Amino acid sequence: MFGTTFILAIQSISRHKLRSFLTTLGIIIGVGAVVTMVTLGRATTAAVQKQISSLGTNILQIRPGQGFGRGGGGPRPPDFKPQDVTAIAKLSDGARFAPEPLSDDEHARLRAASLEGAPEHVLGDYPDWLDASFAAAFGESRAEEGAALASRAPLDLRVNTLKASREEAAEAIGELKPQATRWSPIGLRVVVAPDAKSPAIHAEPAFLKGQIEIQDEGSQLAALLAGAKPGEQVIDLCAGAGGKTLALAAMMQGKGRLIATDHDKRQLAPIYERLSRAGVHNCDIRTPKGPNDTLSDIHASADLVLIDAPCTGTGTWRRNPDAKWRMRPGALEVRLKDQVTVLDRAAALVKPGGRIAYITCSVLPPENGEQIRSFVVRHPEFAVVPPSQTVTVLWDKAEDFAAATLQSAEGLLMTPRRTGTDGFFVSILRRG
């Protein structure tokens, strides 16, 4: 009965979702169990039979961390027992409702449990339809970059310098043994064992007092590279829950005018409490109300407009390991259009000599360098600030950080493999 119910459910799933679902299920309950369930359920579609036939190979694609947020990274097949191979071979007998018998090559690959000779997208643990974009971004290193995106992310904290120094914050959470982040001068990192639960930071007195916030070091660096200064007029155009808004406020030292807005007012809901806890008093939150532009009173007067752009989030796969398998090509097209809209909106807000900080948590070239090149064609009054100048805000870390990133004429890219952070692209554009 359960097998029949199982088949009725999976027959309505698309091919890609079916592949991902069966692979993950195989890890949880065992490959043989999945094959048995499908066979007993009398699968009647070729798609199901094909997926079961290739299930053993699919299993070898799984990395520690996929779907479970556990660390490890790198090509390492899971524990695969000989009886699993035997079970698959026995059930794959070509009968009416069973897959075709396994070939010699399939037998050998299953018994070897090896990824040798596997395609780059398998070694890198990312969807095959993204291989061209990964190749454009990373070339021959794309498998290693992808594998790093499948590792477990550390717990990074940003120190709120409006309330504490890094040393004071580190002492306040001393029991967690925080370490100074490698690049960010305001960051702390708590290393969590692969199988351990993350500490309850939200219950720490230092968090409740507004001394620390959870923020990946890459996100901290992206905000720092924007170069907000005290006394400036700064607009966070895609503020969301306010992570980078808080960082900007600390950089401005409570001086100047900071405006936070977002096209989706629901995204802004948490920002009020966060700003209050952080002791920020110079932030004006503009909540969308109907069709009217919340920034209609601002005409080419902003010193800095920060765009934490809507994107595919491929750079944050360490924190959302299932997202890569839910992502579809159509999502990229939607995000590209959203990015064009927000960039064009920002262009009208910046004063001569002012700048746009364009940030994505994506590693895909169409959302990063290609998007910037198109923007400059549409708005020739803007020019990209060379990354070598952008990184100078990091002082003594600037040279090493620049060497670690992947730089282009349009900006710089951080990745887990290169900088030990989430994947972030940053481009600073100055208006002439």
Residue 277 predicted with pLDDT over 90: yes
Residue 257 predicted with pLDDT over 50: yes
Local confidence band at 32 (pLDDT 50, 70, 90 cut-offs): very low
Distance of CA 235 to the CA centre of its chain: 23
pTM of the model as a whole: 0.80
The pLDDT, as a whole number, for residue 62 is 39
Strand 233-236 vs strand 257-261: parallel, antiparallel, or unpaired? parallel
Listing DSSP states for 179-203 in one string gives EE-SS-TTEEEE---TTSPPP-GGG
Local confidence band at 81 (pLDDT 50, 70, 90 cut-offs): low
- Report d(CA 399, CA 336) in Å as an integer: 32
The pLDDT, as a whole number, for residue 75 is 43
Instruction: Give the pLDDT mean for 306-332.
Output: 94
The percentage of the chain sitting over the pLDDT mark of 70, rounded to a whole number, equals: 81
Residue 50 predicted with pLDDT over 50: no
The pLDDT, as a whole number, for residue 109 is 73
- 261, containing H or E segment: strand 257-261
Local confidence band at 80 (pLDDT 50, 70, 90 cut-offs): low
Instruction: Give the pLDDT mean for 183-203.
Output: 93
The pLDDT, as a whole number, for residue 2 is 35
- 407, containing H or E segment: strand 406-407
Higher pLDDT, 160 or 71: 160
Q: Are 414 and 405 in contact (CB under 8 A)?
A: yes
Each residue of 208-224: pLDDT tens digit?
A: 999 999 999 999 999 99
What mean pLDDT is reported for the chain? 85
The pLDDT, as a whole number, for residue 21 is 42
Nearest in space to 240 (alpha carbons), one of 218, 272, 280, 213: 272
The pLDDT, as a whole number, for residue 428 is 98
Each residue of 122-161: pLDDT tens digit?
A: 999 999 999 999 999 999 999 999 999 999 999 999 999 9
Q: Which CATH architecture has domain 218-431?
A: 3-Layer(aba) Sandwich (3.40)
Domain ranges of the chain: 2-118, 218-431
The pLDDT, as a whole number, for residue 11 is 41
